[in-house]
């Protein structure tokens, strides 16, 4: 008995090896943990859907899981996934508590990802700091769980930002990443609209605050009450939050490879697949923000991705595997791929790519079935199914890139307009454009039906308009071709003449750094002062009267970051098809030495025709800096009557598609990389819309 007591005492003090060996060892916290929530379908109530059905949320979390495992080394057992009916309010809270809070340690990398509807409900405490319209009460931003609106259609059972705040505060890890791809995302940490497209992740605004009694049935008691006075982000220093949009705005969906995805999720995952392992979250968000702004397939225009928290922190702790060379590859199923290379990279139909894994092993090959401007579709070549791993694509056989506009014709459009046209062809399917008759006149439209430019019923003049579009398109998309010479671009406001104003806090931007790295576009809301009301614009357009707009005066600072003297050309090009060569059209005044900068003042303004046709969508003005070792003439791009061809050498130093346009011919030597590029996108909005944005 004495021995037993001694042993017990020794065991209690940790002195007995025999007793200590019998104690269960506490498992080491895992290195990584993730909880991924994706909700396409919401629980029905009284036989009716409580929320508009979404299409891309499950696809989002499937891609996130593959990316975390293949690029960042997450173990499959460390990733929990809740989809549709699994993602109830109670199950999200319980799984978060069990999987992320109880398992994590200080050095665990924790990820929480939500794709679904977002909304707002009244804030019971009256302390929420999220922005709101003047005179409005305080609101809580919410994540709409699968059963939220079936339990309470007025929003009283949404998962509110206070709950998420409390859950995150309890995570013991030092590095927590939260991604919310839903409407009102920007306020999640701190509606029913029939005019919204079906892919918008917006839930009907709630009229009730959180029903705390319902939540108390499953809320972990050690976390304290789920609703507390708002303390801001002071206790969330360990959290970096990537939000699809600002607190008062909506998030959309996009379509790629025949599938739907969240617009932010699609571009965020692709960026994370390509970014350098040592990159910061700010670099990632800058890239994603520009790609979202340029996505013509999204349901929402003007969606602005946010980064809340310490944006200087390295992406997932810097654990990503190095990105091998090549183009991005997305496996869309059944041996089909979408590859981030197209006509402007000299990729044509029947081109062949070698597919390489992130470990450098050759996995197989794919042959291009359809080439577009900046991407292509390809099919796996081989008897076995392709492996489901992250890949890069290396161009093996270029094929024949079709340097032409592909256009479908309405029945009453004469095919003679395209006879012997070297830069455009009429096609039955796979068209990028279409020609239709409107009010007795022809017009060129995008494949989606947006007006591009009028098309005269005269073969010669019609083909000249098509050539102008050919020039515009080549310049607009050329910014996505990697270049050899690193250059950077900065944009500064010179002054607001005629009442013009630019949101000063958002205009500073640096891009294009790093040899061959794709530059990043950042959306900047601008204020274009109007001399007339919008109704007068419309009337002036109908009567064919010119309308004068004042504009902004900007200073463009282009810096040569290469080791060579280069010619720097500054070109502005916008969605209304206006092109202006601001610098570099005389071959003498734009040679810049290594490390030096060249400055040029330019003036931009919103096209009145665009305001009439797109009253709710900003017009993108793209400022492009192009570096070449030899002088390249860009004047044909701004000509209202462009000429095709020219003496050989005009296009030396340009990418293949651009060189073909200016008549330099096509080659396949190293000189194709003899150039560099940087660009910035400026979405221009009307004064009333900017005032409304600022008020919010």
Mean pLDDT of 88-94: 96
- Whose structure tokens read 């095919």? 415
Return the pLDDT at 630: 79
Q: At residue 519, does pLDDT exceed 50?
A: no
Mean pLDDT is highest, among 571-575, 582-586, 679-683, for 571-575
390 Cβ neighbours under 8 A, 6+ residues apart: 66, 67, 70, 71, 273, 329, 357, 358
- At 678, the pLDDT band (50, 70, 90 cuts) reads confident
Structure tokens, 61:
């979390």
Mean pLDDT of 412-422: 86
DSSP-based three-state secondary structure for 117: coil
CB neighbourhood size of 588 (10 A): 9
Spatial separation of the C-alpha atoms in residues 138 and 155, rounded to whole Å? 15
DSSP-based three-state secondary structure for 186: helix
Return the pLDDT at 646: 44
Return the pLDDT at 111: 97
- Please give the residue that has the higher pLDDT: either 656 or 25: 656
**Would you list the DSSP string of 151-178?**
H-TTSTTSEEHHHHHHHHHT---SEEEE
Spatial separation of the C-alpha atoms in residues 123 and 120, rounded to whole Å? 9
Q: At residue 268, does pLDDT exceed 80?
A: yes
Q: Which of 105-119, 172-186, 623-637 has the lowest mean pLDDT?
A: 623-637
Mean pLDDT of 522-530: 34
Mean pLDDT of 424-447: 88
Identify which of 358, 359, 361, 471 has the alpha carbon closest to the alpha carbon of residue 424.
Answer: 471
The whole-angstrom distance between residue 441's C-alpha and the CA centroid of its chain comes to: 37
Return the pLDDT at 96: 97
Q: At residue 190, does pLDDT exceed 60?
A: no
Q: Which of 187-196, 427-436, 560-569 has the lowest mean pLDDT?
A: 187-196
Mean pLDDT of 591-608: 85
Mean pLDDT of 649-664: 63
- At 503, the pLDDT band (50, 70, 90 cuts) reads very low
Distances in whole angstroms, Cα of residue 74 to Cα of each of 109, 254, 553: 9, 27, 49
- Across all residues in the chain, what is the average pLDDT? 76
Return the pLDDT at 41: 94
Structure tokens, 29:
């916290």
Return the pLDDT at 431: 86
The whole-angstrom distance between residue 380's C-alpha and the CA centroid of its chain comes to: 27
- At 86, the pLDDT band (50, 70, 90 cuts) reads very high
Could you report the per-residue pLDDT of 307-333, keeping only the tens digit for each?
Answer: 888 888 999 988 887 777 888 888 887
Identify which of 354, 330, 205, 219 has the alpha carbon closest to the alpha carbon of residue 270.
Answer: 330
Q: In this prediction, what percent of the chain has a pLDDT beyond 70?
A: 72
Q: At residue 179, does pLDDT exceed 90?
A: yes
Mean pLDDT of 169-180: 95
Phi, psi of 577 (to 5 degrees): 75, 20
Mean pLDDT of 550-565: 82
Q: At residue 302, does pLDDT exceed 50?
A: yes
- Please give the residue that has the higher pLDDT: either 436 or 650: 436
Mean pLDDT of 350-372: 89
Return the pLDDT at 23: 46
Q: At residue 673, does pLDDT exceed 60?
A: no
Structure tokens, 660:
């073909």
Across the strands, what pairs with 433?
407, 446
451-455 and 441-446: which strand pairing?
antiparallel
- Please give the residue that has the higher pLDDT: either 137 or 568: 568
Q: At residue 46, does pLDDT exceed 50?
A: yes
* b/e sequence 252-290, b meaning 16+ C-beta within 10 Å: bbbbbeebbbbbbbbbbbbbbbbbebebbbebbbbbbbb
Mean pLDDT of 360-383: 89
Return the pLDDT at 60: 95
- At 7, the pLDDT band (50, 70, 90 cuts) reads very low
Return the pLDDT at 198: 40
Could you report the per-residue pLDDT of 129-167, keeping only the tens digit for each?
Answer: 555 555 566 777 889 999 999 999 888 899 988 899 899
Return the pLDDT at 589: 62
Return the pLDDT at 504: 30
Q: Which of 167-176, 426-435, 672-681, 686-695 has the lowest mean pLDDT?
A: 686-695
Q: At residue 654, does pLDDT exceed 90?
A: no
Could you report the per-residue pLDDT of 63-75, keeping only the tens digit for each?
Answer: 999 999 989 999 9
Return the pLDDT at 241: 93
**Would you list the DSSP string of 219-248?**
S-GGG--S-----TTTT-TTEEEEESS-TT
Spatial separation of the C-alpha atoms in residues 135 and 513, rounded to whole Å? 44
Distances in whole angstroms, Cα of residue 366 to Cα of each of 30, 134, 386, 413: 38, 56, 10, 38
- Whose structure tokens read 């050309």? 569
Q: At residue 194, does pLDDT exceed 50?
A: no
Using left for φ > 0, alpha for ψ between -120 and 50, and beta otherwise, residue 514 falls in left
Mean pLDDT of 628-645: 74
Return the pLDDT at 513: 32
Return the pLDDT at 72: 92
Domains and CATH numbers, the chain: 32-318 (3.40.50.1460), 327-397 (2.40.10), 405-457 (no CATH), 479-695 (no CATH)
Mean pLDDT of 605-631: 79
Return the pLDDT at 4: 43
- At 383, the pLDDT band (50, 70, 90 cuts) reads confident
- Please give the residue that has the higher pLDDT: either 96 or 490: 96
Return the pLDDT at 402: 67
- At 61, the pLDDT band (50, 70, 90 cuts) reads very high
- At 207, the pLDDT band (50, 70, 90 cuts) reads low
Identify which of 406, 338, 399 has the alpha carbon closest to the alpha carbon of residue 374.
Answer: 338
Q: In this prediction, what percent of the chain has a pLDDT beyond 90?
A: 25
Q: Which of 80-94, 246-260, 436-450, 525-539 has the lowest mean pLDDT?
A: 525-539
Tell me the whole-structure pTM to 2 decimals: 0.64
Return the pLDDT at 543: 60
């Amino acid at each position: 008995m004495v021995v037993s007591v001694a042993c017990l005492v020794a065991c209690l003090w940790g002195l007995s090896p025999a007793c200590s060996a019998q104690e269960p060892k506490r498992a080491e916290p895992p290195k990584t943990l993730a909880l991924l929530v994706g909700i396409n379908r919401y629980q029905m109530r009284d036989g009716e859907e409580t929320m508009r059905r979404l299409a891309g949320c499950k696809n989002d979390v499937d891609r996130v899981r593959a990316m975390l495992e293949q690029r960042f080394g997450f173990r499959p057992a460390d990733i929990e996934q809740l989809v549709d009916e699994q993602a109830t309010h109670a199950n999200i809270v319980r799984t978060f508590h069990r999987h992320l809070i109880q398992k994590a340690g200080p050095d665990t990398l924790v990820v929480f990802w939500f794709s679904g509807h977002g909304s707002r409900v009244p804030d019971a405490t009256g302390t929420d700091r999220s922005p709101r319209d003047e005179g409005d009460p305080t609101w809580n931003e919410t994540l709409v769980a699968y059963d939220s609106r079936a339990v309470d259609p007025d929003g009283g059972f949404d998962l509110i930002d206070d709950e998420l705040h409390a859950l995150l505060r309890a995570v013991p890890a030092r590095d927590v990443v939260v991604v919310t791809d839903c409407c009102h995302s920007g306020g999640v940490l701190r509606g029913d609209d029939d005019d919204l497209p079906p892919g918008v992740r917006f839930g009907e605004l709630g009229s009730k605050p959180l029903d705390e009694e319902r939540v108390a049935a499953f809320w972990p008691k050690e976390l304290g009450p789920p609703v507390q006075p708002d303390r801001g982000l002071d206790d969330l220093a360990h959290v970096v939050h990537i939000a699809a949009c600002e607190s008062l705005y909506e998030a959309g969906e996009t379509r790629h490879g025949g599938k739907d995805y969240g617009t932010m999720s699609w571009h965020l995952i692709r960026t994370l697949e390509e970014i350098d392992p040592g990159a910061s979250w700010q670099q990632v968000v800058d890239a994603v923000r520009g790609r979202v702004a340029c996505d013509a397939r999204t349901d929402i225009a003007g969606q602005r991705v946010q980064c809340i928290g310490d944006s200087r922190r390295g992406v997932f702790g810097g654990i990503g595997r190095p990105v091998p060379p090549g183009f991005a590859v997305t496996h869309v199923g059944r041996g089909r791929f979408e590859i981030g290379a197209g006509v402007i990279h000299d990729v044509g139909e029947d081109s062949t790519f070698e597919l390489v894994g992130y470990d450098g092993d050759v996995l197989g090959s794919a042959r291009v079935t359809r080439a577009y401007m900046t991407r292509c579709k390809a099919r796996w070549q081989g008897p076995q199914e392709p492996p489901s791993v992250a890949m890069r694509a290396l161009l093996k056989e270029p094929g024949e890139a079709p340097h032409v506009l592909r256009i479908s014709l309405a029945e009453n459009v004469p095919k003679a307009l395209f006879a012997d046209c070297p830069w455009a062809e009429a096609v039955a399917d796979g068209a990028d454009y279409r020609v239709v008759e409107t009010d007795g006149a022809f017009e060129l439209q995008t494949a989606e039906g947006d007006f591009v430019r009028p098309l005269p019923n005269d073969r010669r003049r019609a083909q000249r308009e098509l050539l102008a579009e050919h020039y515009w398109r080549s310049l607009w998309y050329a910014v996505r071709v990697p270049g050899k010479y690193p250059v950077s671009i900065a944009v500064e406001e010179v002054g607001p003449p005629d009442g013009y104003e630019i949101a000063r806090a958002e205009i500073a931007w640096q891009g294009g750094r790093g040899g061959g790295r794709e530059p990043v576009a950042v959306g900047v809301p601008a204020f274009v002062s109007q001399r007339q009301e919008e109704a007068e614009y419309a009337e002036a357009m109908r009567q064919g009267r010119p309308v004068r707009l004042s504009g902004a005066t900007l200073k463009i600072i282009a810096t040569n970051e290469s080791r060579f003297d280069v010619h720097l050309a500054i070109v502005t090009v916008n969605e209304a098809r206006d092109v202006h060569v601001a610098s570099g059209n005389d071959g003498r005044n734009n040679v810049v030495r290594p490390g030096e900068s060249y400055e040029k003042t330019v003036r931009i303004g919103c096209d009145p025709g665009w305001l009439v046709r797109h009253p709710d969508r900003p017009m993108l003005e793209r400022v492009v800096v192009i570096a070449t070792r030899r002088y390249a003439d860009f004047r044909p791009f701004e000509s209202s009557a462009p000429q095709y061809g020219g003496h050989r050498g005009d296009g030396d130093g340009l990418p293949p598609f651009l060189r073909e346009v200016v008549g330099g011919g096509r080659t396949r030597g190293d000189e194709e990389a003899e150039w560099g590029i940087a660009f910035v996108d400026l979405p221009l909005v009307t004064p009333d819309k900017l005032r409304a944005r600022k008020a919010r």
